[in-house]
Amino acid sequence: MILDRDEKRIRSALLSNRPVDIRRIERNVKENMKMNTIEATPRKKAGVFVAACIAIMVLMVGTVYAAVALGAFDRFVEEHDPPFADVVTPVEIYVTDQGVRMEILAAQQFLDTTIVYLSLQDISGQNRMTDQASVFPFISTNDRHGFGWMGTELIHFNPETNTAYFEIRTQLSGNMTETSNSLELLINEITFYRGMTVVEFPMPLSDITEAATKEFPTMNSDNNFVLVPNMAGMFPALPGSETWISNIGIVNGYLHVQLASTSFVGYGISLYAADGSMVFPHDQTWFEADENFQLLNRENIVVTNYDDNRAYNFAELVFPVNVNALESYSLMLRGSAVSSVQGNWEVTAYIGDSSNQIRAWEGELLMGNIVLEHVVVNPLGVGFAGSAADMDAGMATMNSGLFSQVSIETPDGIILVREHPSIGISMDPNSFSREDAAALFNGFAMAETPIDVASVTAVIIGDVRIPIE
């Protein structure tokens, strides 16, 4: 039996014991089901509270709220018609951190695969969310976990509410025979924008003068002198970049431009002559400094905990130009600009039992050098797993094309699920070395629309038919 969304809501609510203001629900019903997701706040005990079957059980991490008034997912479905709306369980819980509200609208797990519909709204008033927003979520159920590598897709951005909506699909680690009725989702960083930026150096190059230097012999450069870092910066970092121009000046008749970064030098320098031709650097030097801006040198300074001391990375470019005619040159800064925020967005909620939407086959079927042992069909696609005697044999079969196409057989005919499914092979963790290692093989053919699991009579991988009972 497949439950509709209202039945899933009732079942999920029965798994919780959180009280709710029934009068509020009645009022929402009377208002023609014009429902809004609101923050649940504690209420003083007054009158009789009825055990609710509305709120979702939530693991409180940070400031997590349950959606008392239902409707966020229904509105999302009405406006955007996501393809897997009928196979997920409405959740509608959210957490707020760093001025960003993350809400799980709906989710479901099918053995080792999960799907989540998620919204991210900037409520700080800064309108940081954009149509290029992205996240890298971590999802776990029980002792199993996985990242959103199967697909984290931005499916809609609403500029009026500054909200981005995502569909996230994840394959979990572990075997393909265990399921759970809850999942935990964690996001540590949200990227609002990522793109290329090109700007011109803001001060006239003719104003650049001789600069103080520091002797710093390196093995990757003929230049034994570098500019003394000006940590205040001669030019601020590009928006969203951790790189800035820490100094610029003339040294021994050459133009030196020094870049600094707290992580890695994230943008480059281009120098153009009056005729538009690019001037390439005569020399480049890379070096590091500690938190006190004392230069570190791997080759000439013995530092036992070098990486622990490193706080800044530098790149210094040396251009062969006529330093007496710098006004005829233009200096451009180019690189990737990233705007993001780090925080802790984490929630856990019940998602209901999905066992009635899973069909499986287990056995041993030799396909090339791989013994296929598990095939699972769920609304999201077809998963399969097996083993090989060794890595080289498994790789040879994996690359042979035997698994290049996955289809399902139904009473209405053969339906292609996906060409070139995601497949992978890894060394058995119980092996001692690659030479004697058995290989573990797995793959997943992700469907574009939900599979009617009940109608599937067989899975076809390549030209091999596998009956599904």
3-state secondary structure of 357: helix
Flag whether pLDDT at 53 surpasses 60.
no
Answer yes or no: are the C-beta atoms of 242 and 261 closer than 8 Å: yes
Over 60: is that where the pLDDT of 129 sits? Answer: yes
| pLDDT exceeds cutoff 60 at 48 | no
Across 24-38, 305-319, 332-346, the highest mean pLDDT is recorded for: 332-346
Q: What is the pLDDT of residue 37?
A: 37
- Same domain for 214 and 94: no
pLDDT at site 350: 80
**pLDDT of residue 68 exceeding 50:** no
- Domain identity same for 103 and 169: yes
**Quick one: average pLDDT of 304-330?**
79
How confident is the model at residue 243, as a pLDDT? Answer: 76
Q: Which residue has the higher pLDDT, 216 or 283?
A: 283
Question: Is the pLDDT assigned to residue 295 strictly greater than 80?
Answer: no
The number of residues in the chain equals 469
Q: What is the DSSP string of 243-257?
A: EEEEEEEEETTEEEE
Q: Within this chain, do residues 186 and 41 fall inside the same structural domain, yes or no? A: yes
Rounded alpha-carbon distances, angstroms, from residue 290 to 31, 60, 166, 233:
63, 39, 40, 17
What are 434-451's pLDDT values in tens digits? 555 678 888 899 999 999
Q: How confident is the model at residue 100 (pLDDT cuts 50, 70, 90)?
A: very high
pLDDT of 158 above 70: yes
Nearest residue to 115 (alpha-carbon basis) of 86, 95, 78: 86
- Contacts of residue 173, defined as CB under 8 A and 6 or more positions apart, other chains included, come to 112, 144, 145, 146
Structure confidence at residue 175 (pLDDT): 53
Candidate from 192-201, 271-280, 366-375 with smallest mean pLDDT: 192-201
pLDDT of residue 359: 92
Alpha helices (H) in 220-365, listed in sequence order: 306-309
- Say whether pLDDT at 81 is over 50: yes
DSSP string, 192-238: EEEEEEEEE-SS-GGG--B--EEE---SS-S--EEEPP-TT-SBPPP
Same domain, 181 and 37: yes
Distance of CA 242 to CAs 262, 327, 453, Å? 6, 28, 49
Are residue 223 and residue 268 in the same domain, yes or no?
A: yes
CATH of the domain at 50: 2.60.40.1630
Residue 306, helix vs strand vs coil = helix
| Separation of alpha carbons 395 and 300, rounded Å | 45
Same domain, 182 and 55: yes
> Residue 2 has what pLDDT?
47
Helix (H, G, I), strand (E, B) or coil at 92: strand
Are 264 and 363 contained in the same domain? no
What is the percent of the chain where pLDDT is above 70?
Answer: 70
The answer to whether residue 182 scores a pLDDT higher than 90 is no
DSSP state for residue 58 in the 8-state scheme: B
Distances (CA, A) of 177 to 144, 226, 298, 467: 12, 61, 51, 18
pLDDT digits (tens, 9 = 90+) for 4-21: 555 555 544 444 443 444
Evaluate if residue 124 carries a pLDDT over 50.
yes
Give me the number of domains the chain comprises: 3
Is 146 in the same domain as 22? yes
Has residue 150 got a pLDDT over 90? Answer: no
Q: Flag whether pLDDT at 128 surpasses 60.
A: yes
Find the domain containing 388 and state its range.
358-467
Distances (CA, A) of 388 to 371, 372, 433, 439: 6, 9, 15, 5
- Choice among 29-38, 75-84, 153-162, 201-210 with the minimum mean pLDDT: 29-38
Which tops the pLDDT comparison, 56 or 335?
335
230 with 283, same domain?
yes
Q: Is the pLDDT of residue 276 over 80?
A: yes
CA-CA distance, 111 to 359, in Å (whole number)? 10
**What's the pLDDT score for residue 67?**
43
Q: What is the mean pLDDT of residues 39-61?
A: 34
Are 171 and 212 part of one and the same domain?
no
Mark which of 337, 371, 400 sits at the end of a domain: 337
**Of 231 and 44, more confident:** 231
Lowest mean pLDDT among 25-39, 160-174, 177-191, 273-287: 25-39
Mean local confidence (pLDDT), 203-225: 74
Output the pLDDT for position 265: 54
- CA 86/CA 74 separation, integer angstroms: 11
Q: Average pLDDT, whole number, for the chain?
A: 77
Q: Which of 173-177, 300-304, 443-447 has the lowest mean pLDDT?
A: 300-304
**Range from 287-291, 386-390, 429-433 that averages highest in pLDDT:** 386-390
Other beta carbons within 10 angstroms of residue 267's beta carbon come to 22
Q: Which of 350, 375, 409 is the last residue of a domain?
A: 350
Instruction: Please state the rounded mean pLDDT for residues 272-295.
Output: 83
Residue 355 or 150, more confident:
355
- Boundary residue ending a domain (305, 326, 350): 350
Do 89 and 184 lie in one domain? The reply is: yes
Q: What is the mean pLDDT of residues 304-328?
A: 79
Cα separation, 5 vs 108, whole angstroms: 12
C-beta neighbour count of 108 within 10 angstroms: 25
Position 294 scores a pLDDT of 72
- Whole-prediction pTM value? 0.64
Q: Is the same domain home to 111 and 9?
A: yes
